Amino acid sequence: MLTDEFGREVTGVRVSLTDRCNFDCVYCHNEGLGDTRGPMDPQDDEMSTDDVVRFLEVAAEFDVRAVKFTGGEPMLRQDLEEIIARTPDTMEVSLTTNGTFLPGRAEALVDAGLERVNVSQDALDREQFAAVTQSGAYDKVLEGVDAALAAGLDPVKLNMVVFQHTAGYVPEMVDHVAENDGLQLQLIQYMPELTGKPEWNIDIDRVHDWLAERADEIEHREMHNRRRYWVGGSDAADGDESGSEPDSRGMVEIVDPVENPTFCANCHRVRVTHDGYLKGCLNRNDDLKPMGEMTRPEIREAFRDVVANRVPFYGEYMVRNGDGEWELNEKYVDEYAEV
Ligand SMILES: Nc1nc2c(ncn2[C@@H]2O[C@H](COP(=O)(O)OP(=O)(O)OP(=O)(O)O)[C@@H](O)[C@H]2O)c(=O)[nH]1
Ligand SMILES: C[S@@+](CC[C@H](N)C(=O)[O-])C[C@H]1O[C@@H](n2cnc3c(N)ncnc32)[C@H](O)[C@@H]1O
Ligand code: SF4
Ligand code: SF4
């Protein structure tokens, strides 16, 4: 297993299979790569099936135990089932999707070896959903969640980005997962670093506090030191036994990477862009390494290099100055200037 200079073992890879998408979410960071808008057809710059599999086989040699497929919208790749089937057996395979293509394909993905899925669902309300995703696919997404559950994927995590447009809908989403078996909720702090619009930020600590009051159990996940809250439905919390089952509970995880050195200190993943660049950190584009036509030994070397150059973004790459503001650590200024 490879470990970076900051003692962070690399146990997972996050592979973006395309930067195309059928949605146009107002907040989208596209895994650090900018715009998802553009043609929907397969593009020449995307890694081929063989490229993806070759990279995963090399990563497995370094004891990488998990792969997350993402995008853009990874289900626009018609070879996703083949990629999953050819992923080394030693890796846990998970997928993050907007859910629209799960109906009709969820079962084949499971047959191929998919073990977990996260489906982005920012609201339980058709109009609000349309406003955030700029798509009319609300019903398809709900169908997609059902298809994933029916195919045996358990839990299905719903991803909700918490920002000004959605913050008011958090309580009903929490009830939704508490009252529906098989669902979990991941509340993702809105990340303005790559999208601009800091005015959309909300105070994620208030969400933590609210959940801490409601939860009957709180866990810490090793990855990113994320907190997980186990909560009952609101009827159960009010002592109203006429509603949900008293013992019906749901898990709510908070992903709060923004200005959070603890999150970065517990970051164990390397990324790959849709066009085959290794990338050490979501928030940086100055450490990209192209794999292009590389042979296996060259990919091994590039992977070692990227791990060796990984730097926790908050707390090391960015540090607080005397006024408490985050600024680029002088150590990395030259490197940054070369981009
Ligand atoms: N800054 C930062 N944000 C992350 C990181 N990992 C996840 N996120 C944020 O969380 C979003 C959702 O992540 P998912 O694709 O659902 O996967 P995950 O939650 O990381 O993984 P699992 O919970 O294991 O399924 C990402 O698109 C980011 O916005 C990370 O390493 N750094
Ligand atoms: C870039 S999307 C790619 C996968 C798929 N298209 C989807 O939406 O699930 C991966 C995750 O990033 C989240 N995300 C996108 N932009 C974000 C931002 N600015 N802040 C926080 N999370 C964001 C999305 O909500 C989604 O859960
Ligand atoms: S569905 Fe995913 S990739 Fe597409 S715009 Fe929304 S967040 Fe971005
Ligand atoms: S170092 Fe921090 S910002 Fe960069 S990918 Fe890891 S958790 Fe995200």
Query: ipTM for the complex?
Result: 0.98
d(CA 241, CA 216): 17
Of 35-39, 76-80, 164-168, 318-322, minimum mean pLDDT range:
35-39
How far, in Å, is the centroid of ligand 1 from the Cα of 70?
10
* Closest ligand 1 atom to Cα of 193: 1
The protein residue whose alpha carbon is closest to atom 7 in ligand 4 is 264
Q: What gap in Å lies between CA 114 and CA 103, rounded to an integer?
A: 15
Determine whether the shortest distance from the Cβ of 264 to ligand 4 is under 6 A.
yes
User: Best mutation site among 224, 262, 264, 284 for ligand 4, i.e. most ligand atoms within 8 A of its Cβ?
Assistant: 264
Query: Using CB atoms within 10 A of its CB, is residue 232 exposed (0-12), middle (13-18) or buried (19+)?
Result: buried
User: Going by C-beta distance under 8 Å and a sequence separation of 6 or more, which residues neighbour residue 65?
Assistant: 11, 12, 90, 91, 92
The answer to whether the CB of 21 is under 6 A from ligand 2 is: yes
Instruction: Tell me, using a 6 A CB cutoff, whether residue 23 lines ligand 3.
Output: yes
Mutate to test the pocket of ligand 4, among 68, 222, 314, 329 (most ligand atoms within 8 A of CB): 314
Query: Can you tell me the distance from the alpha carbon of 259 to that of 195, in angstroms, rounded to the nearest whole number?
Result: 15
- Would the CB of 28 count as within 6 Å of ligand 3? yes
What contacts 261, CB < 8 A, 6 or more positions away? Answer: 312, 314, 315, 316
- What is the pLDDT, as a whole number, of residue 240? 47
The pLDDT of residue 339 is 43
Judge whether residue 86 has pLDDT over 90: yes
Q: State which amino acid sits at residue 219.
A: E
What residue's CA is closest to ligand 3, atom 8? 28
**E strands, 181-317, where?**
183-189, 215-220, 227-232, 249-255, 269-272, 277-279, 289-290
Contact 119, 129 (CB under 8 A): no
pLDDT digits (tens, 9 = 90+) for 135-185: 889 999 999 999 999 999 999 999 999 999 999 999 999 999 999 999 999
Residue 270 annotated as binding? yes
* Closest to 145 measured CA to CA, from 199, 87, 184, 191: 184
Q: Is 157 annotated as a binding residue?
A: yes
Per-residue pLDDT reduced to its tens digit, 199-241: 999 999 999 999 999 999 999 998 889 999 999 866 554 544 4
**Pairing outcome for strands 156-162 and 183-189:** parallel
Asked whether the predicted pLDDT for residue 32 surpasses 70, the reply is no
**Which candidate, 288, 296, 256, places its Cα nearest to that of 270?**
288
Q: Identify the structural domains of the chain with CATH numbers, from first to last.
A: 2-335 (3.20.20.70)
Please tell me whether 65 is known to bind a ligand: no
**Which has the closest alpha carbon to 74: 129, 34, 125, 36?**
36
Q: For ligand 1, say whether the CB of 155 is within 6 Å of any of its atoms.
A: no
Q: CB-based contacts of 187: which residues, under 8 Å, 6+ apart?
A: 160, 162, 170, 173, 207, 252, 253, 254, 255
Distance CA 131, CA 5 (A): 43
Ligand in closest contact with the CA of 282: 4
Q: Which ligand has an atom closest to residue 184 CA?
A: 1
Residue whose pair of structure tokens reads 């702090």 in the numeric block: 189
Who has greater pLDDT, 12 or 287? Answer: 12
Question: Does residue 99 line the site of ligand 2, with CB under 6 A?
Answer: no
- As given in the structure block, the two tokens for residue 195 are 């999208």
pLDDT given for residue 31 in this prediction: 60
